[in-house]
């Protein structure tokens, strides 16, 4: 079973590529994208871009009706519960096989903590900055954890793209961290950045735990467990720590529904992508969420976007292009080798 998991089929980017290209192979075979590239494209188009709308929509719901973060998390978890019907139709256990049930629940708990921290952070700091800190910390932590726990190495181009995307995030959030106000406002702002960092750390741990799972219907099982664990954990906390709100305006309900649908799509795509590519590279590609959040922050929320934000977003996009192109080119040469 272990040998069949995608974790053990990742292409080794550290090995030298063949120097020449035999003319006998068709060009479409030489340019076929690798599994890692497919995973990164899924993470970019299905994970990062939809997730970029989640933060601004969450902030809009809070501004319109002071929608609490835990209540928003509960609403998101409700969108995951119907997956139980799919598991029942397939005859699979809702909580997964007994031997991996503990790790599956741990994965769900880490994701609930990550999302809860993210939703709390966007209520006190700009959505783009919160997404920046969360994605930056998840990338760095994923690279360190994968190297220490899984002994996985990255190629030089991958490290270049990884460090470049992290540099872009530092360019975006650095000026804001240096101008924190004193007093209560500055304290809440600093707490928001701390929550965003903890959310990224929990996300990186959750991705590594998911890579260790290998059983039929793994993806729908962890998606359902996320909804179940989030609902059970957030329900009591909502009444103890926050005040439930019943929005009356259509804008709030529209934002809540959009958050639930887009977040579910992003969750599924990221979970798939992390089985195809290195988790640090997946997190680096997910930095596209920051670019989308900054655009919505400026055009929809009418919040200021500094020149450093634009420059940092450009660095992030360039780094994503380097990572994707590197994996595509490696598979082209790998196909020739076969």
What would the mean pLDDT of 222-245 be, rounded to a whole number? 86
Residues 6+ apart with CB under 8 A from 216: 92
Confidence tier at 153 by pLDDT (50, 70, 90): low
Phi-psi sector, 78: left (phi>0), alpha (psi -120 to 50), beta:
alpha
pLDDT of residue 336: 43
Residue 177: what pLDDT?
Answer: 60
Determine the Cα angle at 9 with ends 8 and 11, to 5°.
Answer: 120
Per-residue CA distances from 120 to 117, 170, 240, 320 (Å): 5, 21, 16, 28
| Maximum average pLDDT range among 144-158, 164-178, 281-295 | 281-295
Q: What CA–CA distance (Å, rounded) separates 175 from 285?
A: 23
Whether the Cβ atoms of residue 54 and residue 184 lie closer than 8 Å to each other: no
The answer to whether residue 111 is domain-embedded is: yes
Question: What distance in Å separates the CA atoms of residue 73 and residue 227, rounded to the nearest whole number?
Answer: 9
- pLDDT value at position 13? 42
Any idea which residue has 């190495």 for tokens?
153
Predicted confidence (pLDDT) per residue in 74-115, tens digit? 898 999 999 999 999 988 888 888 888 999 999 999 999 988
154 contacts 282 by C-beta, under 8 angstroms = no
Residue 104's Cβ-side half-sphere holds a number of Cα atoms within 13 Å equal to 24
Sign of CA dihedral 316, 318, 320, 322: negative
- What pLDDT score was predicted for residue 257? 92
Share of the chain above pLDDT 70, in %: 79
3-state secondary structure of 197: helix
In a domain, 17, yes or no: no
For residues 253 and 64, the answer to whether their CB atoms sit within 8 Å is no
Domain that holds residue 73: 37-328
Q: Could you say which DSSP state residue 99 is in? A: G
Number of domains the chain is built from: 1
Q: What tens digit of pLDDT does each residue of 253-269 get?
A: 899 999 999 999 999 99
Residue 337: pLDDT over 50: no
pLDDT score for 64: 84
At residue 180, the pLDDT reads 55
pLDDT value of position 3: 46
Question: Is pLDDT larger for residue 154 or for residue 263?
Answer: 263
- The better pLDDT of the pair 306, 331 is held by 306
Q: How does residue 185 score in pLDDT terms, banded at 50, 70 and 90?
A: low
Between 19 and 282, residue with greater pLDDT: 282
Rounded CA separation 298/55 (Å): 13
DSSP state of 43: I
Q: What is the DSSP string of 210-267?
A: HHT--STTHHHHHHHHHHHHHHHHHHHHHHHHS------SHHHHHHHHHHHHHHHHHH
pLDDT score of 2 more than 60: no
Does residue 175 form part of some domain? Answer: yes
Does residue 252 lie in a domain region? yes
Whether 35 and 6 have beta carbons less than 8 Å apart is answered as yes
* Whether pLDDT at 220 is above 50: yes
Share the mean pLDDT of the chain: 78
Is 15 part of any domain? no
Q: 199 and 134 in contact (C-beta within 8 Å)? A: yes
Residue 283 has pLDDT above 70, yes or no: yes
Say if 234 falls within a structural domain. Answer: yes
Query: Would you say residue 16 lies in a domain?
Result: no
The set of long-range contacts for 84-88, using a CB threshold of 8 Å and a minimum separation of 24, is 84/224, 86/220, 87/217, 87/220, 87/221, 87/224
Q: What is the distance between the alpha carbons of residues 231 and 77, in angstroms, rounded to a whole number?
A: 6
Per-residue model confidence (pLDDT) at position 268 = 92
Q: Is 10 a domain residue?
A: no
Q: What is the pLDDT of residues 43-56, one digit of tens each?
A: 888 988 898 898 88
Secondary structure element (H or E) that encloses residue 172, with its range: helix 156-177
What is d(CA 138, CA 119) in angstroms, rounded to the nearest whole number? 16
pLDDT at 198 over 50: yes
What is the reported pLDDT for 261?
A: 94
């Amino acid at each position: 079973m272990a040998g069949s998991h995608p974790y053990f089929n990742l292409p080794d980017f550290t090995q030298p590529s063949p120097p020449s290209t035999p003319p006998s192979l068709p060009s479409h075979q030489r340019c076929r994208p690798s599994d890692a590239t497919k995973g990164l494209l899924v993470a970019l188009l299905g994970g990062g871009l939809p997730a970029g709308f989640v933060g601004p929509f969450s902030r809009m719901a809070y501004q319109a009706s002071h929608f609490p973060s835990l209540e928003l998390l509960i609403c998101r978890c409700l969108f995951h519960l119907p997956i139980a019907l799919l598991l029942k139709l397939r005859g699979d256990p809702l909580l997964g096989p007994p031997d991996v049930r503990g790790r599956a629940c741990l994965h769900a708990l880490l994701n609930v903590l990550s999302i809860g921290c993210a939703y709390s952070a966007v209520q006190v700091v700009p959505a783009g900055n919160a997404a920046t800190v969360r994605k930056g910390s998840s990338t760095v932590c994923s690279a360190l954890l994968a190297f220490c726990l899984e002994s996985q190495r990255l190629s030089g181009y991958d490290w270049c793209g990884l460090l470049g995307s992290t540099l872009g995030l530092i360019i975006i959030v650095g000026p804001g961290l240096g101008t924190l106000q004193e007093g209560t406002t500055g304290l809440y702002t600093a707490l928001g950045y701390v929550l965003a960092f903890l959310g990224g750390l929990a996300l990186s741990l959750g991705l590594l735990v998911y890579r260790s799972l290998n059983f039929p219907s793994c993806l729908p099982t962890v998606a359902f467990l996320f909804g179940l664990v989030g609902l059970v954990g957030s329900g009591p906390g909502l009444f103890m720590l926050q005040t439930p709100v019943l929005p009356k305006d259509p804008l709030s309900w529209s934002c809540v529904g959009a958050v639930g649908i887009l977040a579910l799509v992003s969750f599924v795509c990221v979970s798939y992508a992390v089985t195809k590519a290195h988790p640090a590279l997946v997190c680096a590609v997910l930095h596209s969420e920051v670019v989308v959040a900054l655009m919505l922050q400026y055009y929809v929320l009418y919040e200021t976007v500094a020149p450093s934000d634009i420059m940092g977003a450009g660095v992030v996009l360039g780094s994503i292009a380097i990572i994707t192109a590197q994996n595509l080119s490696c598979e082209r040469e790998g196909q020739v080798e076969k």
